[in-house]
Amino acid sequence: YHLDHFVIPTHYEKDVSSILIPHGVIMDRVNKLARLIVDESNGPLVVCCILKGGHQYFADLVNVIKKLTKKSGNSVPLSLEFIRVKSYHNDQSTGDVKVSLTEDECKEFKGKNLLIVEDIIDTGATMVKLLEKLRQYEPASIKVTSLLIKKTDRSNGYIPDYVGFAIPDAFVVGYALDYNEYFRDLDHICVISEHGKERYANA
Ligand code: 5GP
Ligand code: MG
Ligand code: MG
């Protein structure tokens, strides 16, 4: 029982305005999502971590899936892939994404079952473009899990297969989600404060 888990690190005390999802609640949800994913999987999965924001959810999710498949009858061997995705959308419709994988690495996806692990869906533009690109390599299936989805009128309507939490239209940080690379080292998912935005604004 670690009381430290309920606390905002002193270096971020003034930089968040509220804890939106405490770490323990995130972990409970990750456990449930892992169970759902294992129940609906048969055979090998290529679990693709969308860096950097997806790394904590990916790590915790894979950990639970590993434990579950030790006990259950479901055989789900995992291979792990890491993708950095840069989205360029000047306007919502003509945006494109650049992925960090080489052509050869992408060709490995052919015939495989992919599980994409993302931190948050905001407009949905990045994920729609990423899926378009990945489908060109003819995987057997692609499923997407996002820990968070924002309720916003900027949404293009995209909804992942497995969602952790729907959240209000605010900028959130923590649990690997960043603001200019800061706040990834925060256990809880928090709403950034004006103080935090100013303090960590890009120079
Ligand atoms: P979308 O293309 O869906 O609009 O945006 C997707 C990406 O924008 C996310 O993967 C994430 O990197 C970033 N993003 C969107 N909303 C937030 C937020 O509230 N907090 C953080 N830290 N990143 C966000
Ligand atoms: Mg992301
Ligand atoms: Mg970011």
The pLDDT score that the predictor gives to residue 66 is 93
- CATH architecture designation of domain 25-169: 3-Layer(aba) Sandwich (3.40)
User: Using a 6 Å cutoff on CB, does residue 122 contact ligand 1?
Assistant: yes
User: Using a 6 Å cutoff on CB, does residue 69 contact ligand 1?
Assistant: no
50 CA closest ligand 1 atom index: 10
Q: Residue 41: what are its φ and ψ, rounded to 5°? A: -110, 145
85 CA closest ligand 1 atom index: 10
C-alpha distances (whole Å) from 32 to each of 64, 89, 104, 162, 201 are 9, 34, 34, 10, 36
pLDDT tens for the chain, 203 residues long, are 566 666 888 899 999 999 999 999 999 999 999 999 999 998 899 999 999 999 999 999 999 999 998 876 778 899 999 999 987 655 555 567 889 999 999 999 999 999 999 999 999 999 999 999 999 999 999 999 999 999 999 999 999 999 999 999 999 999 999 999 999 999 999 999 999 999 999 87
Angle at 132 between CA 130 and CA 134, to 5 degrees: 70
Nearest CA to ligand 1 atom 16: 122
Q: For the chain, what are the domain ranges?
A: 25-169
- Residues classed as catalytic: 122
C-alpha distances (whole Å) from 6 to each of 34, 114, 172 are 24, 35, 17
The pLDDT score that the predictor gives to residue 202 is 85
The pLDDT score that the predictor gives to residue 80 is 97
User: What ipTM, to 2 d.p.?
Assistant: 0.97
